Amino acid sequence: MHANRLKFKKSILAILCLPSFAFAQVVSTPVIAVAGQNITIPTGNSIQIRFGNAISANGGGVVAGTDVEAGTSANAVAVNASGMGSLITLDGMTLLNGAQGGAWMDNGGLVKLGGNTLINIGGGNNGATGIYINGVNKPSDTFGSGITINIDGTHSDQNAWTGVLVDGAGASAVFDNLRIQGDSADIGVLAQSGASANLTNSNITINGHTPTNSLIIPQDGTYFNGLSGFGLGALNGGHLTVSDSHITVNSSATDSEYGIFTGGGNETINMSDSNILIMGASDS
């Protein structure tokens, strides 16, 4: 893939404030809503699953909850909405822990998250993505202001660990005060294949610890030869609009990382009142 690479160096200061969480009851069975079902999770419940997704809405099922924790220790995601009409709404203080991902939505499914949401990902054998949106336009109020995505753990393969991936024609997302951080963050925000994302007042820090100096997007197999990370990406007609935001790229002597990465044709990244700080020995 031919790519154009842009980098900027400016100083930033990011102060990250994370919410504190306390949950009342631990539940060890998954919450699954299918067509015709509308499930309300009791306030303060913690859904902890060893295998599979903790909360799922499929085929038009609906799930709602306030002050909920959802976690899975398997190679799965915390919450997933799949299929037209499928809806998961989590308000209040929300904590999502998933080896492979936090909140995923596809084929018309929707996960709505409040601003007091903390997502922890890492440890998936097939890569990890905090928020994954595939193929369908999302309302501008889908994500509350102040979501934080932590990407931690040790990964030795080429599958990327990503904060936000918006994928497919018509897919879109709007974020304000989004925070992406963690020792194992390879990619901050990526819009590809006709998708678009809008960021304001956001802070993204990546470290690109993939040891092979190449990345694979596990959802579609996109391969980046000689690349171990980037803060913002637009590929194959993807579009990003970024304002009042700060991107930090940390790298070692063996990494090849970029503040902005584009490729494939017809993609755009529009930035205003934002800066990118490159730290370490990465190309500049």
> Helices then strands (H, E): number in the chain?
0, 30
Q: Has residue 125 got a pLDDT over 90?
A: no
pLDDT at 156: 66
State the average pLDDT over residues 185-196.
94
The better pLDDT of the pair 44, 124 is held by: 44
pLDDT at res. 17:
44
Residues 82-107: tens digit of each pLDDT: 999 999 999 999 999 998 999 999 98
Q: What is the pLDDT of residue 22?
A: 58
More confident residue, 209 or 231: 231
Report d(CA 9, CA 233) in Å as an integer.
17
CA distance 213 to 225: 7
Beta bridge mates, 48? 71
The pLDDT of residue 148 is 98
Q: Which two tokens stand for residue 115?
A: 């601003």
pLDDT at 268: 96
Mean pLDDT on 241-265: 86
Residue 280 CB burial class (10 angstroms; 0-12, 13-18, ≥19): middle
Percent of the chain scored above 90 by pLDDT? Answer: 63
Residues 6+ apart with CB under 8 A from 202: 175, 176, 177, 178, 179, 180, 242, 244, 245, 246
74-89: average pLDDT: 93
- pTM of the prediction? 0.89
pLDDT above 80 for 256: no
CA 212, 194, 243, 19 dihedral sign is negative
